[in-house]
Amino acid sequence: MEWAEKEKDRESRKMKIEKKSEGIKFPYSEKVLEHFRNPHNVGKIENPDGKGLEGSPACGDMVAVYIKVEPETKVIEDVKFESYGCASNIATGSVITDLAKGKTLDEAKKITWKQASEELGGLPPIKAHCSVLAVEGLRAAIRDYEEKHGLVTEKEPTTEDVVRRRLKHVMNPLTGLDIIRTNLILKTSVEAGVVRVVVDLPADHQFAPAIKEDIMEKLGALWDVEKVDVVFTA
Ligand code: FES
């Protein structure tokens, strides 16, 4: 499902919840409900300086976070998020983007899901992973910026495991889930700085160029990768 459709779906879920909510006691604080109904910083930044896409192993939901960074001071000037997640995830995304705006990258990295949960007046324990997902999305966007600007200090060698982990952050537009989970990647290899990725789609498929671009972006920024070859099956 596209983000726009997802947004419509979220709106309709919200309306249904609001309709049913008369007389029902939610396990959420008023603050969570307020941020869910009117989330701050929702949307996409065109040409972001950093972009993170994270999926939750616990529930399969996803969140994307975009940042604009002032190059001298490394202050996050703007931040937005898109969520495929639940009310807790949307509320946390709203709070952490508020917290991150105006902070330096190093300060924003220290924002924790516990801090977000406290800001929201607490979350049910079963919903902790939703908060973690939003925070991971923000951290992924910061890491993306750092990689693109040569600011990464821990230099892990790129292996097939690293490549597959990275590819979990590339969305399969056919399903709205990542390209690893949806078995779109047939093969990966890493040799002498060259990464090869075989995608189970014809080269003239409507989504092939977008998937290729995303793969190149995710792998090309790795410090020891010199070339990325994306190969389609036909
Ligand atoms: Fe998936 Fe909350 S249940 S993000």
pLDDT at 11: 61
Structure tokens at 181: 């989970």
User: What pLDDT, on a 0 to 100 scale, did the predictor assign at position 6?
Assistant: 63
Determine which one of 33, 45, 63, 130 is catalytic: 130
61 lines ligand 1 (CB under 6 A): yes
CA distances from 173 to 21, 56, 99, 182, 207 (A): 33, 18, 30, 10, 7
Task: Look at residue 97 in the predicted model and tell me its pLDDT.
Answer: 97
Going from the Cα of 129 to the center of ligand 1, the distance in angstroms, rounded, reads 7
What pLDDT is attached to residue 117?
Answer: 92
The Å distance, Cα 27 to ligand 1 centre, comes to 15
Provide the whole-model pTM: 0.77
Q: Looking at residue 15, what is its pLDDT?
A: 58
State the pLDDT at residue 19. Answer: 57
What are the chain's domains?
3-148 (3.90.1010.10), 160-232 (3.30.300.130)
Residue 59 designated active-site: yes
Residue 130 designated active-site: yes
What is the CA(137)–ligand 1 centre distance, in A?
13
Query: Catalytic: which of 17, 59, 152, 208?
Result: 59
Q: Which of 99, 63, 107 is closest to 79 using CA atoms? A: 99
Atom of ligand 1 nearest to the CA of 88: 2
Residue 4's pLDDT is 55
**Series of mean pLDDT values for 10-residue runs along the chain (234 residues):** 61 61 70 94 96 84 95 97 93 97 97 93 90 94 92 87 92 84 94 96 94 91 92 90
> Burial of 200 by CB count in 10 Å (0-12 exposed, 13-18 middle, 19+ buried)?
middle
